[in-house]
Amino acid sequence: MIEIQNLSKRFGSFQALDQVSLTVPSGSVYGLVGPNGAGKSTLIRHLTGVYRPDSGTIAVNGSPVFDNPAVKCKMLCIYDEIYYYMHASTRDLKKIYQGLYPDFSEERYEKLRPLFPEVNDKAPLRSLSKGMLKQSAFWLSMSCCPEVLVLDEPVDGLDPVMRRQVMSILMADVAERGTTVLLSSHNLRELEDVCDHVGILHHGKVLLERSLSQLQDSISKVQVLFPDEAPELIPGAEVVHRSNTGKMYTYILRCSPEKARQLIGYFAPVYAECLPLTLEEIFIYELGGMSYEVQDLVL
């Protein structure tokens, strides 16, 4: 389990993280999302022990991370930008990983080889494309058999087939080995397919943190056609957003789908349908309440 309590970090006058608290359950896939500059990368650098917190605590399975090799050898991070010795090869780096991670498996390294056919592990990394570098990083990382895996934009640069391949390997480790994964990405569609918990950062603070099922049950999207004029307010629920195309209205309500159907039913609509919201829609509407909503461009 990853437990972060009241984590704060300031760079000069800039407050990068402000009393951040979140929990990643063991064996779960946790999606960390937020707009640019929200503090996701800073949080990841604290979680991997690169930064020392100004205040607050970070613990993995009850042990602090910073300056603790016993914890760090059980966790691994793949950053958005790959920092490797570019004159070295994947095979050269394998020797370094073997020295750093006691659970590194030579057998697994060979089993994973056919899954990354484009990567020649004898070729220098400087000769590889960005996507191939990312494949090399996954190949090495998954061979380490980490208990905790932290991923920052993990599939950026990979083609659609390799994205599915990498996610398949990742989810197999979660199911079979109980690997705990924290995944930061702007691709909310892919996060929705794999995450069971979600945390949203905004201006260095946790805007919300819930399981994906709880998150989807707390906000509803209703398309409705009223016999008369459409109401602006729906008593019993907060109207997060209201729009229309002709006489067809769309409401985003802060309540469960079941309650949304009940509340809309009071108006005896001609037609009403409750639709599921995607994680991307939830993200937009939640941040809309923080003055981050998409604005119309006026020329």
What pLDDT does 53 receive?
A: 93
At 298, the amino acid letter reads V
- Could you say which residues of the chain have pLDDT below 50? 290-299
**Long-range contacts of 232-235, Cβ-Cβ distance < 8 Å, separation of 24 or more:** 234/263, 234/264, 235/263, 235/266
Euclidean distance between CA atoms 198 and 33, whole angstroms? 7
For the beta sheet containing 238-245, the strands, ordered from the edge strand earlier in sequence to the opposite edge, are 238-245, 248-254, 220-225, 271-275
Q: Which two tokens stand for residue 152?
A: 């920052």
Rounded to 10 deg, the angle between the 90-100 and 130-143 helix axes is: 30
For 113-135, what is each residue's pLDDT tens digit?
999 999 999 999 999 998 999 99
What pLDDT does 288 receive?
A: 64
Q: How far is CA 19 from CA 12, 118, 204, in A?
A: 17, 44, 8
Provide the CA 238 distance to its chain's centre, in angstroms: 27
What is the value of pTM for the model shown? 0.84
Euclidean distance between CA atoms 168 and 142, whole angstroms? 12
User: Tokens 């603790």 sit at which residue?
Assistant: 68
